[in-house]
Amino acid sequence: MMVSLYSAATGMWAQQYKLDIVSNNLANVDTTGYKKVRAEFQDLIYQYYKNAGAPTAVDSTIPTGIYTGHGTRLSATTRIFTIGNIEHTGNALDLAIMGDGFFQIQLQDGRIAYTRDGAFKIDSEGRIVTANGLALVPNIVVPQDAVAINISPDGIFSVEMQDGTIQNLGTITLVRFVNPAGLKAIGDNLFVETTASGAPIEGVPNQDGFGAIQQGYLEKSNVDVVKEMVDMIIAQRAYELNARTIQTADNMLGTVSTLKR
């Protein structure tokens, strides 16, 4: 009976974690380039009262055995890197990756971070930067007398000058990972490399499996609101049922404690 108390408690903890993850997904339903997270659970160790396959007195074996579980635990939070909806903005510096790949962003400490958020800006020096002022890699500087910006699907960044000439400023490259789910999220729509993700593989957009760059579009969050609402209801009900299990076990213990009265 005491096992049921602890098992139900682990179930309540697990559903609390799940609700935390669902709430974060819903909070980021309108975050550019956000990738939803899925909670994954594993059952805990088992107490073996009788093992399956154990010999019996009649020269046979036990077909199933007797096992009692001890609850569940959160085993992983997996980020799902499916492509979100593509929204037309008309802004020349809004870029969506139509397929596999990440933009490279230089952090203030010199490290390189990675993002699917292509809502770029121009700072006072003409550099292409994120909303927080972090520079795009490779570094591209737009001349002050440029009148129009054009970015091709294969990442070629060019501008039209006031005299009508076209000036090529460089090529935006992308990176991908063997295991993107192993990337570490650090906030601000950024990820950093880990040993689990593997080293970044750099390439040219629209070539060798990398996605094409679509100028004037943004990739929205891939959160499915209906699915998250269903998961929220399931988590709530599972939490209530585990709490009811604790109450039931407590009532049974109360019954036992009054047998001598």
Q: From the first residue on, what is the mean pLDDT of each consecutive set of 10 residues in the chain (261 residues)?
A: 84 96 97 96 85 69 78 94 95 96 96 97 95 95 94 96 92 97 96 97 95 97 97 96 90 81 61
Are 205 and 117 found together in one domain?
A: yes
Q: How many CA atoms does the CB half-sphere of 157 hold within 13 Å? A: 21
Are 44 and 102 found together in one domain?
A: no
User: What is the tally of structural domains in the chain?
Assistant: 2
Are 9 and 116 found together in one domain?
A: no
pLDDT given for residue 260 in this prediction: 66
pLDDT given for residue 34 in this prediction: 96
How many Å from the N-terminal Cα to the C-terminal Cα in the chain? Answer: 21
Are 239 and 214 found together in one domain?
A: no
Are 200 and 97 found together in one domain?
A: yes
Are 180 and 64 found together in one domain?
A: no
Are 29 and 99 found together in one domain?
A: no
pTM, rounded to two decimals: 0.87
pLDDT given for residue 114 in this prediction: 98
Are 91 and 136 found together in one domain?
A: yes
pLDDT given for residue 51 in this prediction: 75
Using alpha carbons, list the distances in angstroms from residue 166 to 143, 158, 196: 12, 7, 43
Please, which residues bridge with residue 42 across strands? 73
Neighbours of 91 (CB within 10 A): 16
Are 95 and 167 found together in one domain?
A: yes
pLDDT given for residue 256 in this prediction: 80
Peptide bond into 138 cis (omega under 30): yes
Torsion from C-alpha of 91, 92, 94, 100, nearest 10 degrees = 140
Helix count and strand count (H, E) for the chain: 2, 20
| 17 CB burial (10 A radius; 0-12, 13-18, 19+) | middle
Are 106 and 181 found together in one domain?
A: yes
Residue 184 CA to residue 233 CA, distance in Å, equals: 28
Are 208 and 93 found together in one domain?
A: yes
Are 141 and 204 found together in one domain?
A: yes
Q: Closest Cα to residue 151, out of 84, 83, 220, 217?
A: 217
Neighbouring residues of 103: CB distance < 8 A, sequence distance ≥ 6: 95, 97, 114, 115, 116, 117, 118, 136, 172, 174
Domain span at residue 205 reads 86-219
